Amino acid sequence: MKSKIKELIKSFLNNVLGIQIHLVKNIPPKKDKPDLKMKYVHDPVYSYMVDQEYKDRLVTELANVVDEVRAFNYFPQITKNSSKDIVDDFFRVYTSREKTDNTHGSGFHNAFWLYTIARVLDPELIVESGVWKGHTSWLLSKACPDADKYGFDISLNKLEYTNLDTQMFQQDWQTFSFPSFDPDRALIFFDCHVNHAQRLIEAHSKGFKHILFDDNPPAYKIFSHVPGIPTAAMLYAGEGIDKSEISWVWNGKSYTEPIDIEEAHQAKELIKKHYTLPDVGGLTRYGGFAFLSYIQI
C-alpha cells in the first residue's frame, strides 16, 4: 500500500508540477585493502620477527637441522663454514632477492636446502635440468659464485633472471657433453618432471655422483601433480617398479604413467644413498612442502 502511495505522489509531482525526484543511496566508501597476496604471507621477505634475539633462535634451530644432515657424511665436507654461518647467509641472500614471485617453482623449503647443500659441497660444477624462471639458478650463483654453472630447459620463455653467471641452453641436458670434472666436486639438480630412472642412468653415464631431485615422493604418496615416474624414492624402496604402469587421482582427474621395468631396475642398482631432506618449511612456519632428496650414485 505504501509503495503505491509513493508512486502516486511521484507521478503527481512529475506530471503536474514538473518536479522529478531521484533517490540517492548512501553507499559507504570501500576501505582500501593491502595489496598483499596470500602466497607471500609466509615468506621471510614479508613475515619475520623484529627482535634480533628471536631471529637468532630460528637460525640456531635451522643450523641444528643442518648439522644433523652433515653428520651423515653423505658428501665431502668441503666447506669450513659452520652451519649457522651458512643459514645466516641464506636468509641474507633469500630475503634480498628482487623477484619474489616464483609460483610453480622452488619455494622456501627447496631454496633453503639447495643453498645449504651447495655451500656444504662447494662444487666446481653445477648443472640444473629445469630452470623455470631462473630463481634457483640465481640462488646457486649466490651460493657458489666460482662454480661453472649450466642450466637446461626445453623452453626458456619463462626465464626472468637475465644477469646470471649460468650458461643457459634451451634443450634437454642428455645430449650435452661437459668438460672433464671431479665427480666429488659436481652437483646436479633435477627439477624437470622427467622419469627419474632415465635421469639417474644419464647422470651416471656422464660421471655425476651427487644429485638433488625435486618432486620425489614414494609410490604411496603420489596423488598430486605428475612427478618423474618412477621417482627415485620408488626406485630406492623397490616399490611399484615391477608394474608396467602406476595410476592415481589428483583433484578428481585420473592419471596413469608407464614404467619401463628393465630401466627402473637398472637405475635402482645405481643408487648408493638416498635421503629425503627434512621439512624445514614446516619447522619455520614459512610454509611450503617438498620431497627434495639427495641421491648418491
Question: Over the stretch 13-29, which tens digit does the pLDDT of each residue have?
Answer: 566 555 555 554 555 55
The architecture (CATH level 2) of 2-296 comes to 3-Layer(aba) Sandwich (3.40)
As a three-state string, the secondary structure of 92-120 is HHHHCCCCCCCCCCCCHHHHHHHHHHHHH
Reported as type and span, the H/E element at residue 138 is helix 135-143
- What's phi and psi for 217, nearest 5 deg? -80, 155
Locate cell 609460483: which residue?
A: 103
**Residue 63 CB partners (closer than 8 Å, separation 6+):** 82, 83, 84, 86, 87
Whether a cis peptide bond, with omega within 30° of 0, leads into 123 is no
Q: How confident is the model at residue 9 (pLDDT cuts 50, 70, 90)?
A: low
Tell me how far apart the alpha carbons of residues 200 and 190 are, in angstroms, rounded to a whole number. Answer: 10
pLDDT in tens, 21-57: 555 455 555 544 444 454 555 778 778 888 999 999 9
DSSP secondary structure string for all residues of 208-270: --EEEESS---GGG--SS---SSPHHHHHHT-STTSSEEEEEETTEEEEEE--HHHHHHHHTT
Query: Above 60 in pLDDT, residue 131?
Result: yes
Q: How far apart are CA 181 and CA 217, in angstroms?
A: 30
pTM: 0.82
Query: Torsion angle, CA of 237/276/155/228, rounded to 10 degrees?
Result: 20
Domain ranges of the chain: 2-296
Contacts of 176 (CB under 8 A, 6+ apart): 150, 152, 169
